[in-house]
Structure 1
Amino acid sequence: MTVTLERGRVRLLLMCGLERQALARVLHRLEAHPFDAFSLATGAHLHACLGDPTAAQRLLERLVRQHPERADGWFNLGYVCESLGLLSASEAAFRRAIAIDPRLDRAWYGLSLSLIAQQRLDEALQALRKNTELQPMSPYGWYQMARVQLDRQAPDEAEKIIHHLRGFEPRVAAQLERETGLGTARA
């Protein structure tokens, strides 16, 4: 059976909401083709969706070992490690993804979350600045940056971010105002 046909079957199962059956097909394919990057990535994704992040981690570790040039594999490994509380491994994976593709904005964001969890706020702020430089209209990086500025005892900087968010994401700005009590005087 051709690779394209098998991938199509997996996609069809996923469209029908049959994740377990799709995972079974992917794992069966991996027995015959242990280096197939698509199957490794898809299997990891399905394990994570089905609530088994440890199995997802194992497949992603295989993926990056066999295909170390794949920034997406390193990013996904970082994400899964972060969800498991493996912050050093998460940080290392995000940094590897960034080394491969410095424009991978979500890797900068993931790195910032890992650094925040480790209370390394100055480094997290640098990663968030890079994230918002690459994705200036995404509120997630700006939101986290405001929170980091507050944790760094810089409420004026957090308020500037809230003001900036009002220009393109007023709901997120309002949420930050409610959570922090900042910015409400100027609204």
Structure 2
Amino acid sequence: MNRVERAVSWALWRARWCIWWGRPARALDIVTEALQTYPQQPTLMAYRAHLLAELGRPAEALAVLDALVAVAPDVAAHWYNRAFLLEQSGQNEAAETSFRRALALDERLDQAWYGLGLVLVRQGRLDEALDALRRNTELQPMSPYAWYQMARIHVDRAQPEEAMRIIRHLRGFEPSVAARLERETGLRVSG
């Protein structure tokens, strides 16, 4: 481990200790101080963005992520985190671009497929949304979130049989989500 790695590791250890003791603002101070010495250190930048988001400062977190993807453009996780913040703030077109960039770097990033599906739904691009959500379920077949969204799309498109097929599937591993879909959609699936 070289000097920079040791310094970064020490700063992150101290910051995590502050988090553990319920002092996230102090953790942010520690990471910010370390970034003054190592201004473009990707791990510190990523952790600072995370802390800013956790502290309810998404615009500042996004600015850090913008700088981070400029420094480390080939890291899918950075693009995903950027996309997630954009999606959370309703910037769907920009989020789509970042989700797609993350997926170009790592097509097995299941959360990016899910996030892409959500922003495509919000843009009314339901065929593309279904494709993205299906990719998520291929990678995470036991995660109910994409299944839920796909069922909602099928209901909105007046395709109750497809929605009921998904509800039946969900009953096998996530019955509470299946019951929620039945309540919300008015569909009653027998068996």
What TM-score results when the alignment is normalised by the length of structure 1?
0.96
Which of 149, 160, 167 is 1:162 aligned to?
A: 167
* Offset, 1:2: 2.3
Aligned to 2:8: 3
Distance (Å, rounded) in 1 between the aligned partners of 2:38 and 2:131: 41
Aligned to 2:3: none
Aligned to 1:124: 129
Distance (Å, rounded) in 2 between the aligned partners of 1:162 and 1:185: 7
Aligned to 2:83: 78
- Please give the per-residue CA displacement for 1:71-103, whole angstroms capped at 9, x wherever unaligned: 110000000011111111100000000000000
Aligned to 1:186: 190
Residue 63 of structure 1 pairs with residue 64 of structure 2: no
Residue 15 of structure 1 pairs with residue 20 of structure 2: yes
Mapping of 1:18-167 within 5 angstroms? Answer: 18-167=23-172
- Supply the AA of the counterpart residue of 2:92: L
Distance (Å, rounded) in 2 between the aligned partners of 1:47 and 1:185: 44
- Please give the per-residue CA displacement for 1:126-170, whole angstroms capped at 9, x wherever unaligned: 000000000000111101111111122211111110010001111
Distance (Å, rounded) in 1 between the aligned partners of 2:158 and 2:11: 54
The CA RMSD measured in Å over matched residues stands at 1.1
Distance (Å, rounded) in 2 between the aligned partners of 1:14 and 1:69: 29
Length, aligned pairs only: 186
- Please give the per-residue CA displacement for 1:4-23, whole angstroms capped at 9, x wherever unaligned: 21111011111112111111
What TM-score results when the alignment is normalised by the length of structure 2?
0.94
Distance (Å, rounded) in 1 between the aligned partners of 2:181 and 2:149: 10
- Supply the AA of the counterpart residue of 1:50: L
Change (3 A) 1:185 1:167: closer
- Supply the AA of the counterpart residue of 1:62: A
Identity among equivalent positions (%) equals 51
Q: Is the 8 A contact 2:144 2:170 kept in 1?
A: yes
Structure 2: stretches of 5+ with no match in the other structure: 1-5
* Offset, 1:36: 1.0
Helix, strand or coil for the counterpart of 1:2?
Answer: helix
Distance (Å, rounded) in 1 between the aligned partners of 2:175 and 2:97: 34
Distance (Å, rounded) in 2 between the aligned partners of 1:129 and 1:67: 29
- Supply the AA of the counterpart residue of 2:24: E
